[in-house]
Amino acid sequence: MFDFAVFGSLFLTLFVIMDPPGITPIFLALTSGRPAKVQRRMAWQAVCVAFGVIAVFGLCGQQILNYLHVSVPALMIAGGLLLLLIALDLLTGKMDEPKQTKDVNVALVPLGMPLLAGPGAIVSVILAVQKADGPTAQVSVWAAIVAMHVVLWITMRYSLVIIRVIKDGGVVLVTRLAGMMLSAIAVQQIINGVLQVVRGA
């Protein structure tokens, strides 16, 4: 009743897009100066917001596509291009780090969305739900989504300890590796979309 291939594929895709090691220094910068209790609450709020956005698009993805008259191959190609842009940002280190804002709950914006639940993650989830045939694949998809958000919560919850262990150099290294893997996934997604268009022509 569980498809480990589907689970692993989506989990890996979401991991390199949401980039838990890379979000750690951003989370610390946005929540700096606040008590540890407040930081822990903001980590939980950010994950809940991200999961809510992802879940809505996962559940209503088909309706959104039908309303916009967008085909799955077109979404795959567009999603691949979006993933490629994110991958290039990860590889070149050009990810923008928003500054802390005292008057806004940064756990909601920009942490929850768009840093965590960004376009790349949303497109990947919609496509995964679309391609999941049968209850076994659906369970595996949603298990991967839940598992990824648990990892995100643990990463931000214990970010101070993680930074102490892997240091800034470790975060940069993992971010670059994630960018390389994501670029390969993006190119493959574009190829798959083009192949589906050719077959349907």
For the segment 5-16, the average pLDDT, to the nearest whole number, is 95
% of the chain beyond a pLDDT of 90: 35
Residue 165 has pLDDT above 90, yes or no: no
HSE-up of 144 (CA within 13 Å, CB side)? Answer: 28
pLDDT digits (tens, 9 = 90+) for 103-147: 568 788 778 887 899 878 988 999 899 899 899 999 999 999 999
Residue 101 has pLDDT above 50, yes or no: no
Alpha-carbon distance of 86 to 89, in angstroms, equals 5
**Choice between 63 and 171, residue whose per-residue pLDDT is larger:** 63
Alpha-carbon distance of 121 to 106, in angstroms, equals 19
Task: List the one residue out of 157, 126, 149, 128 whose CA is nearest residue 140.
Answer: 128
Q: What is the pLDDT of residue 135?
A: 93
Q: What is the pLDDT of residue 4?
A: 94
% of the chain beyond a pLDDT of 70: 95
For the segment 64-76, the average pLDDT, to the nearest whole number, is 84
Confidence of residue 24 (pLDDT cuts 50, 70, 90): confident
Residue 43 has pLDDT above 90, yes or no: yes
Q: What is the pLDDT of residue 39?
A: 86
Between the alpha carbon of residue 100 and those of residues 36, 39, 45, 85, 104, the distances in Å are 16, 13, 16, 25, 9
- The burial of 175, by beta-carbon neighbours within 10 Å (0-12 exposed, 13-18 middle, 19 or more buried), is given as buried
Q: What mean pLDDT is reported for the chain?
A: 85
For the segment 65-72, the average pLDDT, to the nearest whole number, is 84
